[in-house]
Amino acid sequence: MKTELVIDLEAEKQEILKRYRALLRASKSTLQKGDKKEIRKAFDMALESHKDMRRKSGEPYIYHPIAVAQIAAEEIGLGTTSIVCALLHDVVEDTDITLEDIEREFGKKTAKIIDGLTKISGVFDTNSSLQAENFRKMLLTLADDVRVILIKLADRLHNMRTMDFMPRHKQLKIASETIYLYAPLAHRLGLYAIKSELEDLSMKYLDPDTYKFIAKKLNEKKAERALFIKKFVEPIDEIVHEQGLVADVYGRPKSIHSIWNKMKKKNIPFEEVYDLFAIRIILDSAPENEKADCWKAYSIVTDLYRPNPDRLRDWVSSPKGNGYESLHTTVMGPRGQWVEVQIRTQRMNEIAEKGFAAHWKYKESSNDNGLDQWIQKVREMLSNPEANALDFLDDFKMNLFSDEIFIFTPKGALIQLPLGATALDFAFEIHTDVGATCIGAKVNHKLVPISYKLQNGDQVEIITSSKQTPKEDWLNVVVTAKAKSKIKSSLKEEKRKIAENGKEILERKLKSLKITYNTDNIQKLSYFFKLPSTQELFVNVALGKIELKDIREYLTSEKEVENRGPERPENLTVDMVKSKMKGSENDILLIGEDLQKIDYNLAACCNPIPGDDVFGFVTVSEGIKIHRTNCPNAAQLMSNYGYRIVKAKWNKQQELTFLTGLRIVGIDDVGLINNITRVISTDFKVNMRSITVDTNEGIFDGSIMIFVNDTEHLENLIKNLLKVRGVTGVTRFDA
């Protein structure tokens, strides 16, 4: 038995060396003199410090840092410093090695990056979320060195690729965080390949059924698609070369996640998604001919196939904020289906695939500084000391916009804003004071209100007034993080002044009632008026919402007020909620690690039914709420409040009914409603709560709310409804 283990260890040792050599090969292009030695030193340190550790799969832990370094080198194109940091990214957190040791061995820069990669330990404000704090810390380092984020993305990508051995609740939490934050971040840094893979992997865990369904469908038609692409590409290839362009033309499948998005957005089945792939034309052009060559290729494609005039996207003339340059057009293919064609040069392609890292490489020749501007924006957000980490996360999320519009100032300067930005966003983008005093704008010389949504290419002049100050409802008008945080801090300042005033008034009022002004009494008053904080109490007093008579009322009714402040959600532990809420014996949901029967409510946002993959969320006032794992709000809840998520599982004991909605579309036919209701009530004995039907020029569109037992019951019902003559589609919807 013993010898077997030795052989095993020997084999592992060989495997570690093999992986290390593969890493060196991947980093060959960026290696300079002495770099190999640095990488070896980092590898030895990582190997030594992780030697007794294993991953959940049983593999040696060192496989993980090597893989992260490999992704950083190969898929992002980073250099030696990053490879060293990737190899050492977990040692400070998981082993006895300190940042000082790292600095002594590898220098200040490496130590700083690793510090950014090391999660926060110790205690901090309980009102904020641990994940949010870690993310914020990571971004603080981004302002100094973007490599922190790039290595973090490589780390996340490897964790997502190897998550099969994790417990289910961990898989859900990590996948939610990934889809909520890391995938948009990869997109913002221009790492499209990594962004797509992160989205697909998140979907694999959050919505496994849909993921498998689309993957299976894609696989079935693979050969047919390859043939279509070959036929489509041949004539393009031929003419491109005839015209003296050097180009690589090929088809590339779309990601499962983007196909699913299209199905949801357009409410269509898989069969109706036409652009399952995109055709790419990658040109080998000299820098000075790039633009001309791209348009030449565009002209060749549109001579062969008729383009859709609304679907031309020109990011060659004005690149996206993350440096992305490309020409996109959609053309009608030979079989009467739309095909997306992307045209770009090799340089543009490298920037599209490797984003930021490739950007550095071409920095000298590129005058685009969209990413620098974006990092500047992140710096501004981080410099707001007040921000609660969760607010910060939501604001940051807004700044990960993928679609931009270009707006001109009256003097013709170009300003980039996210799609959906308003005149007020533009005002704050110019200067905080301009934003704070903005009363309206002139867009293309026409007067518009501050809430006016700007269009690409608008020229905007802001009108201000010294009497204007930021208002609460402005927060609903703006979409940029900068404007939001400036308005919030201005409102906070305003509120603070009002509260100061209210505090003095309250002191006088309490004095007249012979009540001592102390923290204890102020807390009791806040609790009596059901206010979340003492500041709110002072504000209400200042605004005259709480008067002397109200305080007298408090005195009479609350002779014996319990001495405690309002309960805060963050102080709620899962166990506290569980102990308060014992469920009845015949409950059909089991909750928590030990799967007990506990009272719960079903979330209205996604109406879960037995058989759905679900989780519990500990709320402040309504106990435990059950959500579907693919609920529209799930990603946000899990990534921001991971510590309030509990496991939940259906218990198959009894037949209860649950409300769910079905949308039925089809061709209006005599007796169609009759046939549909017959299937529902007679064949399936299902009760209907409501039915709304709309027929328009022969098309039938109905929504039916029904009570079903579980997902199996629902699926059988859907199958049978699809057999009804005239019905073309049946989908479940969240009420």
pLDDT band of residue 270 (cuts 50, 70, 90) is confident
> Cα separation of 548 and 45, whole Å?
69
> Cα separation of 705 and 663, whole Å?
9
Q: pTM for the full model? A: 0.66
Report the pLDDT value the prediction gives residue 451, as an integer from 0 to 100. Answer: 92
pLDDT band of residue 70 (cuts 50, 70, 90) is very high
pLDDT band of residue 67 (cuts 50, 70, 90) is very high
In this predicted structure, the answer to whether residue 310 has a pLDDT above a threshold of 50 is: yes
Percent of the chain with pLDDT over 90: 25
| CA torsion angle 172 178 179 183 (round to 10) | -160
Q: Over range 45-51, report the average pLDDT.
A: 90
Does residue 93 carry a catalytic annotation? yes
Q: Over range 172-190, report the average pLDDT.
A: 83
Bridge pairing between strands 414-418 and 338-345: unpaired
Q: Which of 447, 444, 397, 450 is nearest to 424 (CA)?
A: 450
Q: Which of 456, 499, 452, 459 is nearest to 478 (CA)?
A: 452
Token duo for residue 143 = 């302002």
Q: Which CATH superfamily is domain 214-361 in?
A: Beta Polymerase, domain 2 (3.30.460.10)
In this predicted structure, the answer to whether residue 567 has a pLDDT above a threshold of 50 is: no
Report the pLDDT value the prediction gives residue 698, as an integer from 0 to 100. Answer: 78
In this predicted structure, the answer to whether residue 213 has a pLDDT above a threshold of 60 is: yes
Please list the residues that pair with 460 across neighbouring strands.
443
Q: Which residue has the higher pLDDT, 235 or 140?
A: 235
Q: Over range 193-209, report the average pLDDT.
A: 93
Q: Which CATH superfamily is domain 2-210 in?
A: Hypothetical protein af1432 (1.10.3210.10)
Q: Which residue has the higher pLDDT, 605 or 400?
A: 605
Q: Over range 453-459, report the average pLDDT.
A: 86
Report the pLDDT value the prediction gives residue 372, as an integer from 0 to 100. Answer: 62
In this predicted structure, the answer to whether residue 360 has a pLDDT above a threshold of 70 is: no
Angle ∠(286,364,379) on CA atoms, nearest 5: 135
Report the pLDDT value the prediction gives residue 358, as an integer from 0 to 100. Answer: 64
Q: Which residue has the higher pLDDT, 487 or 522?
A: 487
In this predicted structure, the answer to whether residue 661 has a pLDDT above a threshold of 90 is: no
pLDDT band of residue 3 (cuts 50, 70, 90) is very low
The span from the first CA to the last CA of the chain, in angstroms, equals: 60
In this predicted structure, the answer to whether residue 325 has a pLDDT above a threshold of 50 is: yes
Report the pLDDT value the prediction gives residue 687, as an integer from 0 to 100. Answer: 78
Q: Over range 239-245, report the average pLDDT.
A: 90
Cβ contacts of 175 within 8 Å, gap of 6 or more = 160, 163, 201, 202, 204, 205, 206
- What is the residue-averaged pLDDT of the chain? 81
Q: Which residue has the higher pLDDT, 354 or 440?
A: 440
Q: Over range 421-447, report the average pLDDT.
A: 92
Architecture of domain 658-733: 2-Layer Sandwich (3.30)
Report the pLDDT value the prediction gives residue 133, as an integer from 0 to 100. Answer: 63
Report the pLDDT value the prediction gives residue 735, as an integer from 0 to 100. Answer: 54
Other CB atoms within 10 Å distance of the CB of residue 501: 15
Report the pLDDT value the prediction gives residue 371, as an integer from 0 to 100. Answer: 56
Ranking 135-139, 209-213, 681-685 by mean pLDDT, the lowest is 135-139
C-alpha distances out from residue 551 to 365, 404, 503, 511, 567, Å: 70, 53, 14, 12, 22
Other CB atoms within 10 Å distance of the CB of residue 32: 9
Instruction: List the chain domain ranges.
Output: 2-210, 214-361, 370-484, 489-557, 569-650, 658-733
Contact in structure between 298 and 289 (CB atoms under 8 Å): no
Report the pLDDT value the prediction gives residue 302, as an integer from 0 to 100. Answer: 93
pLDDT band of residue 69 (cuts 50, 70, 90) is very high
Q: Report the CATH number of the 370-484 domain.
A: 3.10.20.30
Q: Which residue has the higher pLDDT, 269 or 5?
A: 269
Report the pLDDT value the prediction gives residue 593, as an integer from 0 to 100. Answer: 59
Ranking 1-15, 75-89, 210-224, 658-672 by mean pLDDT, the lowest is 1-15
In this predicted structure, the answer to whether residue 221 has a pLDDT above a threshold of 90 is: no
In the set 44, 48, 93, 575, the catalytic residue is 93
In this predicted structure, the answer to whether residue 6 has a pLDDT above a threshold of 70 is: no
In this predicted structure, the answer to whether residue 374 has a pLDDT above a threshold of 50 is: yes
Report the pLDDT value the prediction gives residue 480, as an integer from 0 to 100. Answer: 87
In this predicted structure, the answer to whether residue 569 has a pLDDT above a threshold of 90 is: no
> Cα separation of 491 and 489, whole Å?
5
Ranking 42-46, 157-161, 209-213, 381-385 by mean pLDDT, the lowest is 381-385
Report the pLDDT value the prediction gives residue 300, as an integer from 0 to 100. Answer: 94
Q: What is the pLDDT of residues 97-155, one digit of tens each?
A: 888 999 999 999 899 888 878 754 443 444 445 566 666 665 665 556 677 888 889 99
pLDDT band of residue 35 (cuts 50, 70, 90) is confident
pLDDT band of residue 21 (cuts 50, 70, 90) is very high
Q: What is the pLDDT of residues 327-349, one digit of tens each?
A: 999 999 887 778 899 999 999 98
> Cα separation of 445 and 430, whole Å?
18
Q: Name the H helices within 243-344.
A: 256-266, 290-304
pLDDT band of residue 43 (cuts 50, 70, 90) is very high
> Cα separation of 130 and 136, whole Å?
10
Does residue 655 carry a catalytic annotation? no
Q: Over range 300-309, report the average pLDDT.
A: 91
Q: What is the pLDDT of residues 546-564, one digit of tens each?
A: 887 777 777 776 554 444 3
Report the pLDDT value the prediction gives residue 201, as an integer from 0 to 100. Answer: 96
Report the pLDDT value the prediction gives residue 284, as an integer from 0 to 100. Answer: 93
Report the pLDDT value the prediction gives residue 426, as an integer from 0 to 100. Answer: 95
In the set 10, 44, 48, 94, the catalytic residue is 94
DSSP code string of 508-559: HHHHHTT----HHHHHHHHHHTT-SSHHHHHHHHHTTSS-HHHHHHHHHHTT
In this predicted structure, the answer to whether residue 222 has a pLDDT above a threshold of 80 is: yes
pLDDT band of residue 705 (cuts 50, 70, 90) is confident
Percent of the chain with pLDDT over 70: 82
Q: Hey, do 2-210 and 658-733 end up sharing a CATH topology, with the first three levels equal?
A: no
